[in-house]
Structure 1
Amino acid sequence: MSQVEVDGNGPTGGASFSAAARAAVEALLAPVDADLARRYPGDTGTRQPVHTVYVPADAFAADTVREWGRQALEAFDTHAGTPAELARALGVADDELLADVHARVRAKLEREPVEDLRIDFEDGYGPRPDAEEDAAAVRAAELVAAAVAEGTAPPYLGIRIKCMEAAVRDRGIRTLELFLATLLAGGGGLPDGLVLTLPKVTYAEQVTALVRLLEDFERRAGLPAGRIGFEIQIETTQAILGPDGRATVARMIEAAEGRATGLHYGTFDYSASCGVSAAHQSMDHPVADHAKAVMQVAAAGTGVRLSDGSTNVVPTGSTEQVHAAWKLHHDLVRRSLARAYYQGWDMHPAHLPTRYVAVYSFYREGLAAAAARLAAYVAKAGGDVMDEPATARALSGYLLRGLDCGAVDPAEVTALTGLDRARLDALAGR
């Protein structure tokens, strides 16, 4: 059998690719390379909150976060004061892991009960006289600025404006303008964790409209281009499937021109738009699973993050009623996490205990296995599972999310993997 000789430029002899062919390939694929880099930049590398808390604008106050934490702790101590009581509430094993989670969740509720707060000027606020909403928008900005200056603000916070439909468009734009202008007028600039939410999007052009407004505001305010991003709330069937049969949500991400930070699923509006009766509107209904699967594929690789919706079953009343609502919420959150929806909405302070119990259990249960697989990958030692680079990215991302929310500690992750935060970030592609 003949041997092919190879020099520094490739195989020698007559059987080879010409320089012209290689140049043609580069010319052909250069636009593709650029398009892939633009459309699919990968994860942003920033922290993703585990939830978003919605508070109507007229109910938002300087002590809202502290009060939510107080009420959450009160519910936790009253109805699940011990790991055994928590186990009974959720129908899970009362073991060492749950005891650890119980202690960590209580500490979390004391330290950082809310990771992301949205001051709601839409459904939770409703139609108001213009003067009243003007005043509320200014007041919200002043309270946000004060909380940021005092160091009491949650990591992420912002407002949800009214949608871009004709009937409320001017009102939503006016509220956004007042909120942003008041933040800047205070001299502290825009908070690093500022998040805006655009609800009830039906056409990609509505996303483009907000982009143009933000471009104009940034230019007039002397802000860097692209400084202000926003979430797109997926609450209508038109946001998932357009009249031409194409997946509209992908067009919305494109229309955001790099400003989209998240896609948030709206459980009840979307379910209702599909004709689902009120008794069956839930995060685990088949119409919800279909919508979120489309969202997930559309957002993959773009750096746009996903958030599931909420349950409207409130954990109040007797201990039996609270336990039933907690089990429902806990199971729904765990279901979302398994499906890679790492964020959701919480509508009541008593939802916070089970949000964190579900999240912390998810990361602590899988810590040892994920760390072992990642350590084996880095050491090229193989093990029971032969992982690929994409899986290593997922394993690193899993550990990083656990670190960000406080479910796992840096020291224990390093002890199990031999990797520090910087190395995990690199493996996760951040």
Structure 2
Amino acid sequence: MDTTLGPVEIAGFAETHGEQQARYPAPNLSWQPVHTVYVPADRLTPATPADWGRAAADLLARHLPTPESFAALFGHDGLPRVTAKLATEPIEDLRVDFEDGYGVRPDEDADTVRAAEAIAAMHAAGALPRRWGLRVKSFADGDPARSTRTLDGFLTTVIRHVGHLPAGFTVTFPKVLMSAYLGQFATFLDELEQGLGLPYQSLGFEMQVEAPQTLLFLGEATALSGGRLRAAHFGVFDYTAACGLSPHEQRLDHPACDHARHLMQTTLLPEGVELSDGSLAASPASDDGDDVRDLWLRHSRLVRHSLTHGFYQGWDMHPSHLVSRYATSYAFHLRHYEEYRSRVRAWRERRQEGGVMDEPATVKTMTAALVRADHCLGGLGVE
């Protein structure tokens, strides 16, 4: 082919392209939990995951005892799958809470040691969830020494009992109201890592987005954290309160929350940071069947809202939430599974499927959806 200029070298291209690849990595398709369960530190025991599973299974057996009753509430026949999940892995991600769910107490040191020993006991019994960790107090509270002391004592005790840091650890850093807190916390993690003899960057953390001002520096968060920022979790109630919303409007599906989550998607997701939605701060009003089923429906609607908006993880605060979390997540990921698999196969074979002309970007999205479904549903297999 004849050209006018011939070979052209674009000045600065190599550096720019390298920066692009470093800052915006290929989408991460590794396993991500569907939820995080928060348990106040003083209530944690080695049996907590099993206890939550049994409590959820008991509610399910009493209030949705048949496939027909389950399908009538959730719209699909997933009772056997949910029952099996509650029996084998009721909690995928466990967070020991030393912040809002725990409060300010004079015996935090003692609770830190007890919680760490419970984690070590779970590990010894093969019952430690695949993802686990703790939520420390916020630097915004004005006492970073309390946060860092608890994290240091917790990890020191776990490693002393186990002999190493079990896989899946993360720490939740709440109420990041100033961008400088990210770098300050990352610096402490670097020092703690060295003190514990851990490999560099083995201690990552997830920040909580709980105030409008936090949105203003999300684009800097990964850099400010020195690469230690692994996830961002949305805090519904602090955020809506900070926005001045009335108490009855403090809900996960409020448009103000959608705005915040979409900003998290556009700033953090391209940089490979996992995203998680918040919670429903409610439990069944009573043990009456109608109250329990009403709670499940309410929670299911919110989980579906998160999933529809591309947030595939959320917080669960009560054993009853496990039922509606898994039931709704399974239904969401199964709904288009076979369709997506057929369309991806057709695209690879360079043929149309059902008259649909898929773009490469859509095929990538469907492939990612199939991988997420396979992770969530436990081995459907993607061809």
The question of a shared fold, defined as TM-score above 0.5 by the shorter chain, is answered with yes
Establish whether residue 270 from structure 1 lines up as the match of residue 234 from structure 2: no
Q: 2:372 aligns with which of 398, 401, 407?
A: 401
Q: Report the secondary structure of 2:134's partner residue.
A: strand
Decide whether the 8 Å contact of 2:29 with 2:372 is kept in 1.
no
Match in the other structure for 1:210: 185
In the alignment, the residues of structure 2 paired with residue 218 and residue 407 of structure 1 have an alpha-carbon distance, to the nearest angstrom, of 34
Percent of aligned pairs with the same amino acid? 39
Q: 1:282 aligns with which of 233, 248, 251?
A: 251
Structure 2 counterpart of 1:322, which letter?
V
Q: Report the secondary structure of 1:333's partner residue.
A: helix
Q: 1:81 aligns with which of 65, 71, 87?
A: 65
In the alignment, the residues of structure 1 paired with residue 361 and residue 279 of structure 2 have an alpha-carbon distance, to the nearest angstrom, of 30
Establish whether residue 295 from structure 1 lines up as the match of residue 270 from structure 2: no
Establish whether residue 41 from structure 1 lines up as the match of residue 25 from structure 2: yes
Q: Report the secondary structure of 2:95's partner residue.
A: strand
Decide whether the 8 Å contact of 1:39 with 1:302 is kept in 2.
yes
In the alignment, the residues of structure 1 paired with residue 102 and residue 110 of structure 2 have an alpha-carbon distance, to the nearest angstrom, of 13
Q: Report the secondary structure of 2:293's partner residue.
A: helix
Match in the other structure for 1:428: none
In the alignment, the residues of structure 2 paired with residue 355 and residue 182 of structure 1 have an alpha-carbon distance, to the nearest angstrom, of 32
In the alignment, the residues of structure 1 paired with residue 122 and residue 282 of structure 2 have an alpha-carbon distance, to the nearest angstrom, of 30
Match in the other structure for 2:335: 365
Change (3 A) 1:29 1:69: same
Match in the other structure for 1:158: 133
Q: 1:350 aligns with which of 320, 330, 339?
A: 320
Match in the other structure for 1:124: 101
In the alignment, the residues of structure 2 paired with residue 149 and residue 45 of structure 1 have an alpha-carbon distance, to the nearest angstrom, of 29
In the alignment, the residues of structure 2 paired with residue 205 and residue 308 of structure 1 have an alpha-carbon distance, to the nearest angstrom, of 24
Match in the other structure for 1:380: 350
Q: 2:5 aligns with which of 10, 17, 37?
A: 17
Structure 1 counterpart of 2:174, which letter?
P
In the alignment, the residues of structure 1 paired with residue 285 and residue 88 of structure 2 have an alpha-carbon distance, to the nearest angstrom, of 23
Root-mean-square deviation (Å): 1.6
Q: Report the secondary structure of 1:52's partner residue.
A: strand
In the alignment, the residues of structure 2 paired with residue 313 and residue 251 of structure 1 have an alpha-carbon distance, to the nearest angstrom, of 34
CA shift, 1:68, in A, is 0.1
Decide whether the 8 Å contact of 2:29 with 2:371 is kept in 1.
no
CA shift, 1:381, in A, is 1.3
Decide whether the 8 Å contact of 1:160 with 1:198 is kept in 2.
yes
In the alignment, the residues of structure 2 paired with residue 216 and residue 149 of structure 1 have an alpha-carbon distance, to the nearest angstrom, of 28
CA shift, 1:161, in A, is 0.2
Structure 2 counterpart of 1:192, which letter?
A
Q: Report the secondary structure of 1:186's partner residue.
A: helix
Q: Report the secondary structure of 2:206's partner residue.
A: strand
Establish whether residue 238 from structure 1 lines up as the match of residue 213 from structure 2: yes
In the alignment, the residues of structure 2 paired with residue 271 and residue 55 of structure 1 have an alpha-carbon distance, to the nearest angstrom, of 23
Change (3 A) 1:187 1:77: closer
In the alignment, the residues of structure 2 paired with residue 222 and residue 312 of structure 1 have an alpha-carbon distance, to the nearest angstrom, of 39
Change (3 A) 1:408 1:220: closer
Of 252-261 and 118-127, more deviation after overlay is shown by 252-261
- Unaligned residue ranges in structure 2 (runs of 5+): none
Of 392-401 and 345-354, more deviation after overlay is shown by 392-401
Decide whether the 8 Å contact of 1:44 with 1:303 is kept in 2.
yes
Establish whether residue 199 from structure 1 lines up as the match of residue 174 from structure 2: yes
- Unaligned residue ranges in structure 1 (runs of 5+): 1-5, 93-97, 241-246, 414-418, 420-430
Match in the other structure for 1:136: 111
In the alignment, the residues of structure 2 paired with residue 403 and residue 183 of structure 1 have an alpha-carbon distance, to the nearest angstrom, of 32
CA shift, 1:52, in A, is 0.4
Q: How many residues get paired? A: 381
Decide whether the 8 Å contact of 1:89 with 1:324 is kept in 2.
no
Deviations 1:70-107 (Å, cap 9, x if unpaired)? 000001111111122224434x4xxxxx22x1111111
Q: Report the secondary structure of 2:199's partner residue.
A: coil
Deviations 1:25-75 (Å, cap 9, x if unpaired)? 1x4122211211221113334210000000000000010000000000001
Change (3 A) 1:222 1:399: same
Match in the other structure for 2:154: 179
In the alignment, the residues of structure 2 paired with residue 220 and residue 320 of structure 1 have an alpha-carbon distance, to the nearest angstrom, of 53
In the alignment, the residues of structure 1 paired with residue 113 and residue 239 of structure 2 have an alpha-carbon distance, to the nearest angstrom, of 31
Decide whether the 8 Å contact of 1:316 with 1:350 is kept in 2.
no
Deviations 1:10-33 (Å, cap 9, x if unpaired)? x4xxx43345x41xx1x4122211
Q: Larger Rg: 1 or 2?
A: 1
In the alignment, the residues of structure 1 paired with residue 336 and residue 285 of structure 2 have an alpha-carbon distance, to the nearest angstrom, of 31
In the alignment, the residues of structure 1 paired with residue 72 and residue 375 of structure 2 have an alpha-carbon distance, to the nearest angstrom, of 28
TM-score between the two structures when normalised by the length of structure 2? 0.95
Deviations 1:133-164 (Å, cap 9, x if unpaired)? 11211222222122123211111110000011
